[in-house]
Amino acid sequence: MFLLFFLVFVCISGKIPVEFYDSGFLGDRAFAEDDAEPVRIPAGTILWKFETWGEVYSSPVVVDGVVYFGSADTLFYAVDAVTGAEIWHVDTGGPINNFSTVADGVVYFSSENYVYAVNAKDGSLKWRFEIACTPVRIETPWESLVEDSSEMGELEPPGASSPAVSDGVVYFGMWNNLYGSGYICDKFLYAVNASDGTELWRFQTDGLFITSAPAVNNGIVYFGTDYGDLYAVRSRDGSVIWKSPEGEGFTTIPFYADGTLYVGWEGAVVYALDSLTGSEQWMYRTGLGVYLCAAFSLAPTSNPVVVDGRVYFGGSDGDFKDCLYALDARSGKEVWRFNTGGRSPFSSSPRIQDGIVYVGSDDHCLYAVDAETGEERWRFETEGPVESSPAVENGIVYFGSNDTYLYAVE
């Protein structure tokens, strides 16, 4: 009945409802310099919120005045960044929980075992790439796989990684659900042509699945697997440059800065590695973890971000408390940590602009924290955990919440 109501509503109205808040948006503004353009500094006041029909784990991307994001309701949305009015949406038939990439007027995103390329202006489909998956039943992680049957019940959907786009090529991999009913998908990293979706090459890993979206820099693609391998392969053909020793599963997207890779590991460690050799420069250990395990969850991970010589990431300390960490990028020494009210593994990745770190938390809040001192500037509370990573554009912070809304806050 709910689905029927939803379809009737959309057919009649042509869009999902949005609430707009007039909170002095055209009034006094504080400005900061950023690339010689004035930028408003957010202060935690809501501008608008846009309602979907599912949790918004997806991290929004803002390009040319449009916010692009997905929802667990199977729809991918484009909404006006100023008003929150819907421009278009695309129904994939599966949840959309990762972030998207926009390049040359095309939006790339994943849903279940498909990667999509749609026109940024109207959402029209350019191509769709399918990753081969086989449904299986796994009773425990240690027992053998059992062939699928009609009595297996509802299967948990697999999920392709967020796509990375560089020099006309789209890179992505696949993770698999290994507990209970699920799918076994291939364990390749793919490179496909960005214009038409044709496969250029594929690289087979030693693991069962790929645990992070790839990162691309200087002709090298970096990504991790469940076996604890971190790979560096050539972007032109997928040939291996180096592979890290096996650990317990690299789970975050590697971040490249000044010849160094920063990556989170599910053993509660952040590593700094030489990008050309994979050799360790330093490691920092948190209490419990720097991730929300991508292999067994639809939510994203908290990825390290490096700005002005500091590494920022979310993790859990030894008391099961969510913390935002700041480390010295050269030495790995802790500069400060900020404790949020969350009590589960961190999944929102920080965003830094104008000396402020923005990050979501399991305690339903988006936080603004001083990047230098780690002191709280303000917080904005929603009705659900904020597992989405924020985007900051022109002084406005955009983020999703498990309460089904996308928010715009300044």
Q: Is the pLDDT confidence value at 182 over 70?
A: no
C-beta neighbour count of 164 within 10 angstroms: 24
**What pLDDT is stored for residue 12 in this prediction?**
39
- In the chain, what are the domain boundaries? 1-83+387-410, 98-252
> pLDDT of 302-322, one tens digit each?
899 999 999 999 887 767 778
Q: Is the pLDDT of residue 152 over 60?
A: no
Mind listing the pLDDT tens digit for each residue in 76-122? 999 999 999 999 999 999 999 889 999 999 999 999 889 999 999 99
The model's pLDDT over 57-73, given as tens digits with 9 standing for 90+, comes to: 999 999 999 999 999 99
Length of the chain: 410
pLDDT digits (tens, 9 = 90+) for 245-254: 765 566 688 9
According to DSSP, the residues that pair with 130 across neighbouring strands are 114
The CA dihedral of 230, 140, 54, 8, to the nearest 10 degrees, is 130
Question: Does residue 398 or residue 339 have the better pLDDT?
Answer: 398
**For 209-248, what is the HEC assignment?**
CECCCCEEECCEEEEEECCCCEEEEECCCCCEEEECCCCC
The tokens for 259 are 């010849």
pLDDT of residue 225: 82
Q: What is the pLDDT of residue 21?
A: 37
Q: Which residues pair with 39 in a beta bridge?
A: 32
More confident residue, 386 or 17: 386
pLDDT at 111: 92
pLDDT at 161 over 70: yes
Maximal CA-CA distance, the chain: 64
* CATH assignment, 98-252: 2.40.128.630
DSSP at 187: -
Question: Which residues, including other chains, have CB under 8 Å from residue 37's CB and lie 6 or more apart?
Answer: none
Quick one: CA dihedral 211, 281, 246, 249, positive or negative? negative
Taking only the tens place, the pLDDT of each residue in 348-361 is 999 999 999 999 99
Range 145-149 average pLDDT = 47
Closest Cα to residue 155, out of 146, 163, 164, 166?
A: 146
Q: How far is CA 202 from CA 66, 186, 234, 274, in A?
A: 33, 11, 11, 25
- Is residue 408 within 8 A of residue 46, CB to CB? The reply is yes
Provide the pLDDT for residue 269.
Answer: 83
pTM: 0.84
Supply the pLDDT for residue 137: 60
Pairing of strands 199-204, 215-217: unpaired
Q: How far apart, in whole angstroms, are the C-alpha atoms of residue 272 and residue 270?
A: 7
Q: What is the pLDDT of residues 4-56, one digit of tens each?
A: 444 444 443 444 434 433 332 222 222 223 343 445 566 789 999 999 999 99
Give helix then strand counts, H and E, for the chain. Answer: 1, 40
Contact of 390 with 396, CB cutoff 8 Å: no
- Least confident residue range of 104-113, 241-250, 284-293, 327-336: 284-293
* pLDDT for the residue 256: 95
Query: Other C-beta atoms within 10 Å of 222: how many?
Result: 27
Confidence of residue 244 (pLDDT cuts 50, 70, 90): confident
Given a contact cutoff of 8 angstroms between Cβ atoms, the answer to whether 359 and 390 are in contact is yes
| pLDDT value at residue 288 | 59
How high is the pLDDT of residue 344?
65
pLDDT at 246: 60
Q: 289 vs 247, 266, 303, 322, 363, CA distance in Å?
A: 14, 6, 12, 10, 17
* Kind of pairing between the strands at 46-51 and 75-80: unpaired
Predicted confidence (pLDDT) at residue 148 exceeds the cutoff of 50: no
Token pair in block for residue 185: 């998908």
Give the whole-angstrom CA distance, residue 237 versus residue 190.
10
Percent of the chain with pLDDT over 70: 74
- Mean pLDDT estimate for the chain: 81
Q: Tell me if 94 sits within 8 A of 74, measured CB to CB.
A: yes
User: Which tokens is 158 given?
Assistant: 């697999």
Band of residue 347 on the pLDDT scale cut at 50, 70, 90: confident
Q: d(Cα 205, Cα 201) in Å, to the nearest integer?
A: 13
Q: Each residue of 162-181: pLDDT tens digit?
A: 999 999 999 998 865 444 44
Q: pLDDT tens-digit profile of 196-221?
A: 999 999 998 877 778 778 999 999 99
